[in-house]
Amino acid sequence: MKASLSRRSLRGRLTRRIGGALLLLITVGVAGAWLDAWRVASSAYDRPLLIAARVLGESLTVRDGQLQVRVSRAVLDPFSLDSGGSAFYQVITPEQGSIAGFEDLPAPPAAAAMTSRYPSLARFYDATYGGRDVRVVSLLVPVSQPGYQGMVEIRVAEHRDIHAQLMRDLLGDSLMRLTLFAIGAFLLFVLAIDAALRPLKRITDMVASRSPDNLDPLPTDNVQREVRGLIDAVNHLTARLDDTLRAQRAFVADAAHELRTPLFALRARLELGMQTHDNDTLRITLESAQRDLEALTLLANRLLSLARVENDIRRRDFGVLDLSDTAREFCMSMVSLAWQRGLTLALEAEQPVWVQADSALINELLAIVIGNAQAYTPAGGHITVRVLEGARLEVEDDGPGIPESERERVFERFYRAHRDAPLTEDAGRAISGTGLGLAIARQICTALGAHISLHEAAGGGTLARVVFMAGAVPPPPGR
C-alpha cells in the first residue's frame, strides 16, 4: 500500500488531491455550520428575551398616578427555568427611573440599533453583568392608561452560557454529519479510483505477459475512451517499431548477401593465386583480389556511414552553417580528382545560404552526389554544383542520365539502375557501385529536414536537387 501511494503513483496523486478537495469542502462546511448554528442559536436565544420583555410590558399598571409592575412568579418561572435561573430584568420610566427589578443592568450602547427581525422597538446587545457575559434586550413599551402616558423601557438580561451550550449542540450535530459524510465520500472515491485504474492494470498485465517478439496491436474492444487513446498510442508505437525491425532485418539480410558475394570472390581469387606458379597470372590474380578488397572495404564503409546517418536522424542537434562556403571547400578538394578523370568541376555559389545542418553530413551528401556524377560522366564531361536562393543545392552532369522510371527506385538500398552507357574506368570504385549511395543521401536529407530528387538535366544528363525545408538565421558576427 505504501508503494501504491508514493509520490510517483497515479493512485496516490488522485487520492491526495481528492482528499485535499474534501478537506477544503469540510472546512467550508464547518464555517457554514458555525454561521448557521450562531444564527439559529441567536434567534432562539433572542426570542425568549423579547417574549419575557413583552410579558413584563403587559403587566404594567397605573395606581394613584404611579406606574407599577405586577409580576407574578408564574409569569417569570418558565423563563427562569429556560435560562437556568440566570435571568434578570429591569423596568425604567423617564420620570421615576428604575421602578422594578435589578437597578444596575447595563444600558444599551449608543451604537445599538433597533432590530428589524421583530416588529418591536427593541435593541439587542451584549454586555457584562456581575462579572459574566450577558445578552440583553431593551424594549420600549408605550403605556397609555388613565393617569400615565409615556414610553417605558424594559430590560431583560440572561447569561450567555445557554447560548454557548445551544451553539455547541447545534455545531456538534453538524460536525458529526459532515465527518460521516466526508469519510463515506472518501471511501467511495478510493473505490472509484481503484475501479477507474483497473483498465490500466489490465493493460499492464497484458503487455507484461507478452513475449519479446510479439508486436501485435493490443485489443481495443470494451475499453474506455480515455484508455483507448493510450492503447492507440502504444499500438502506433509498436507498429512503427515493427516496421523498423522489419527494415533492419531486411537490411541485414541484404547486407549479408552483398558482403557474401565479394567475400566468396576474394576467397576464390586467393585460392587461385595460391595454385598458380606463373608470376604474370599471380600478379593479375592479386590485382583482381585487391579490387575486390577495395570494393568490400567501400561497402563496409557505406554500411557504417548509413548507421551513422540514422543515428544523426535521432540526434537532430545541428548548428547553422553557410551552404555556399561548405560546398566551396568540398569542391576545392574534388577538383584534382575530377581533373585526373578528365572532367570539369565548376561551382556556382554567389552569396551565402544559411541552413541548419552538420558540415560532416553535408560533405557526405556532396561526396555521394558528386561521386555518382564523376562515375557516370565520360571523359571531357562537365559537372556543375550550384547553391541557390531558397536553400537549394544542385549537382548537374552531362552523363547518360537515369531513366524516369528508375529515378525513384535508385534511392532504395542495394538497388542499381540499369544504364545503357558504359561506366567510366573508376565507376567500380564509385559510391554508386555499392547500391547504397543514394539511399544514404536520402537518409542524410531526412536527417537535415531536406528533400532530394533526380531530374533530367538540360544536356540530357542527371540533375540532383536538394531543397532544404527552411533556411536558418545567420550567426552573429565573430562566431
Q: Rounded to a whole number, what is the largest CA-CA distance in the chain?
A: 167
Domain boundary among 169, 202, 221: 169
Domain boundary among 114, 148, 169: 169
| Claim to verify: residue 282 and residue 374 sit in the same structural domain | no
**21: CATH:** 3.30.450
| Claim to verify: residue 322 and residue 446 sit in the same structural domain | yes
Q: 3-state DSSP call for residue 120? A: coil
How many CA atoms lie less than 13 Å away from 248 in the CB half-sphere?
Answer: 8
pLDDT at 195: 81
Nearest to 295 by CA among 434, 164, 195: 434
| Claim to verify: residue 328 and residue 308 sit in the same structural domain | no
| Claim to verify: residue 328 and residue 310 sit in the same structural domain | no
Alpha-carbon distance 244 to 262, whole Å? 27
- Return the axis-axis angle of helices 225-275 and 279-315, rounded to nearest 10°: 170
Question: In whole angstroms, what separates CA 88 from the centre of its chain?
Answer: 69
CA angle 117, 121, 124 (to 5 degrees): 60
Q: 3-state DSSP call for residue 221? A: coil
The domain containing residue 46 runs over which residues? 12-169
Residue 183 lies in a domain: no
Residue 198 lies in a domain: no
Q: Are 352 and 293 in contact (CB under 8 A)?
A: no
Question: In whole angstroms, what separates CA 336 from the centre of its chain?
Answer: 55
Q: Are 460 and 382 in contact (CB under 8 A)?
A: no
C-alpha cell at 152: 417605558
Q: Which residues contact 351 (CB under 8 A, 6 or more apart)?
A: 324, 389
Residue 355 lies in a domain: yes
**355: CATH:** 3.30.565.10
| Claim to verify: residue 156 and residue 232 sit in the same structural domain | no
| Claim to verify: residue 280 and residue 341 sit in the same structural domain | no
How many separate domains does the chain show? 3
Residue 3 lies in a domain: no
Amino acid at 424: T
Residue 157 lies in a domain: yes
Residue 1 lies in a domain: no
Residue 179 lies in a domain: no
pLDDT at 143: 82
| Claim to verify: residue 233 and residue 362 sit in the same structural domain | no
| Claim to verify: residue 262 and residue 349 sit in the same structural domain | no
Could you list the pLDDT tens digit for every one of the 479 residues in the chain?
A: 444 444 567 777 777 888 888 788 878 877 777 777 666 666 666 777 888 888 888 888 877 767 777 765 555 554 544 445 567 888 888 877 888 888 888 888 888 888 877 778 888 888 888 888 888 889 898 887 777 778 888 888 887 766 666 667 767 777 787 788 888 888 888 888 888 777 777 777 878 887 877 778 887 777 777 777 778 888 888 888 887 777 677 666 666 666 666 677 777 777 777 777 777 777 777 777 777 777 777 667 766 766 666 655 555 567 888 999 999 999 998 888 888 888 999 999 888 888 888 888 888 889 889 988 888 888 888 999 999 988 899 999 988 888 888 888 888 877 766 555 444 444 444 444 567 778 888 888 888 888 999 998 887 889 999 998 766 666 666 55
pLDDT at 83: 47
| Claim to verify: residue 152 and residue 272 sit in the same structural domain | no
| Claim to verify: residue 253 and residue 330 sit in the same structural domain | no
| Claim to verify: residue 231 and residue 363 sit in the same structural domain | no
Nearest to 147 by CA among 70, 68, 64: 64
Nearest to 413 by CA among 248, 283, 289, 276: 248
Domain boundary among 146, 169, 192: 169
Residue 205 lies in a domain: no
Q: Which residues contact 93 (CB under 8 A, 6 or more apart)?
A: 67, 99, 150, 152, 153
| Claim to verify: residue 282 and residue 329 sit in the same structural domain | no
